[in-house]
């Protein structure tokens, strides 16, 4: 029978491989379980926020509302500077998610409101008409859920950026932060304040609010159950790797023992 040292030398490659990847698979399984707990807590917070009565928003507040909290906000829409998020499919139809600036009556602060979905034109060069994008006039009260945009970097040449700033409604392929999306909007907005502050969060408008369009947004959150399923897969891979390693070592040793016995018998 081989000594332990001899067996380690004989199987060092598979042992190193197993020693590296088994802990990795276990770590990934534990990490997925932690993510499952986080997603369960997030969904519970979202559900609680959805069921709670909307809170009156104070424009003078410097604190960003927590994500998903329901708010009542008074102000006025700025229809001349709307943002259209391109390539949004609803019931098999192409369209846009519509974002409209909503400013406090005095105009010092503005936020971006996601009003919903609107169908696009078969001729992609034609944007939705001002009639389709119309909003209530004057000061109104709207309700919705506070959130932050899932932003991606938007990189353009200077000439393209200048053209983009000059065109309203502004069609975008990727979402960025609200201040960047609304860059230059005060040039076409009727505001008593020359340079309003654009808040770094959005309000996803409730369908019952004036000016709301087709509800479209749903939270892009992987369920806790999926994370748990992934965790079980990682744990199963760790067990399978360990079991296969043991089986391969024993099989290899048995074959070596058999060959040695046959050689001894022949001699």
Chain segment 73-130, per-residue pLDDT in tens: 999 998 888 889 888 888 888 899 999 999 988 878 889 999 999 998 888 788 888 8
Do 81 and 195 fall into the same domain?
yes
* Token pair 């897969």: residue: 233
Q: What is the pLDDT of residue 252?
A: 77
Close Cβ partners of 147 (under 8 Å, ≥ 6 residues apart): 67, 68, 201, 202, 203, 204
Q: How far apart are the C-alpha atoms of 23 and 18, rounded to whole Å?
A: 8
Q: What is the pLDDT of residue 153?
A: 45
Do 169 and 109 fall into the same domain?
yes
Q: How far apart are the C-alpha atoms of 18 and 245, rounded to whole Å?
A: 7
Q: Say if 214 falls within a structural domain.
A: no
Q: What is the pLDDT of residues 201-258, one digit of tens each?
A: 899 999 899 999 998 876 666 778 889 999 999 999 999 999 999 888 888 776 666 6
The model's pTM is 0.67
- Measured over the CA atoms of residue 230, residue 236, residue 239 and residue 241, the dihedral's sign is negative
Do 22 and 151 fall into the same domain?
no
Do 38 and 62 fall into the same domain?
no
Q: What is the pLDDT of residue 161?
A: 46
User: Which has the higher per-residue pLDDT, 67 or 3?
Assistant: 67
Domain count, the chain: 2
Q: Say if 211 falls within a structural domain.
A: no
Q: What is the pLDDT of residue 72?
A: 92
Q: What is the pLDDT of residue 232?
A: 94
Q: Say if 162 falls within a structural domain.
A: yes
Do 26 and 125 fall into the same domain?
no
Average pLDDT, whole number, for the chain? 80
User: Which has the higher per-residue pLDDT, 129 or 9?
Assistant: 129
Long-range CB contacts for residues 49-57, cutoff 8 Å, separation at least 24 = 49/145, 50/145, 54/143
Q: How far is CA 130 from the centre of its chain?
A: 30
Domain that holds residue 148: 54-205
Do 119 and 161 fall into the same domain?
yes
Q: How far apart are the C-alpha atoms of 101 and 57, rounded to whole Å?
A: 16
Which of 31-35, 121-125, 162-166, 263-267 is predicted least confidently? 162-166
């Amino acid at each position: 029978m081989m000594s332990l040292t001899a067996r380690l030398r004989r199987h060092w490659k598979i042992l190193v491989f197993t020693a590296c990847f088994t802990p990795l698979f276990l770590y990934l399984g534990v990490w997925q379980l932690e993510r499952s707990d986080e997603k369960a807590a997030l969904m519970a917070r979202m559900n609680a926020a959805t069921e709670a009565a909307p809170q009156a928003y104070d424009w003078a507040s410097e604190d960003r509302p927590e994500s998903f909290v329901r708010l009542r906000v008074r102000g006025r829409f700025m229809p001349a500077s709307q943002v259209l998020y391109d390539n949004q499919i609803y019931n098999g139809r192409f369209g846009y998610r519509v974002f409209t600036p909503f400013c406090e009556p005095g105009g010092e602060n503005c936020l971006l409101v996601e009003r919903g979905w609107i169908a696009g034109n078969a001729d992609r060069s034609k944007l939705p008409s001002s009639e389709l994008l119309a909003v209530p006039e004057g000061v109104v009260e709207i309700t919705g859920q506070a959130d932050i945009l899932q932003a991606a970097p938007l990189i353009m040449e200077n000439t393209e950026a200048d053209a983009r700033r000059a065109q309203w409604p502004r069609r975008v392929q990727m979402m960025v932060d609200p201040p960047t999306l609304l860059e230059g909007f005060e040039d076409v907005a009727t505001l008593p304040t020359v340079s309003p502050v654009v808040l770094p969060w959005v309000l996803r408008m409730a369908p019952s609010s004036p000016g709301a369009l087709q509800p479209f947004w749903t939270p892009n959150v992987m369920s806790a159950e999926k994370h748990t399923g992934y965790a079980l897969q990682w744990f199963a891979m760790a067990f399978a790797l360990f079991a296969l390693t043991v089986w391969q070592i024993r099989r290899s040793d048995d074959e070596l023992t058999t060959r040695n016995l046959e050689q001894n018998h022949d001699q």
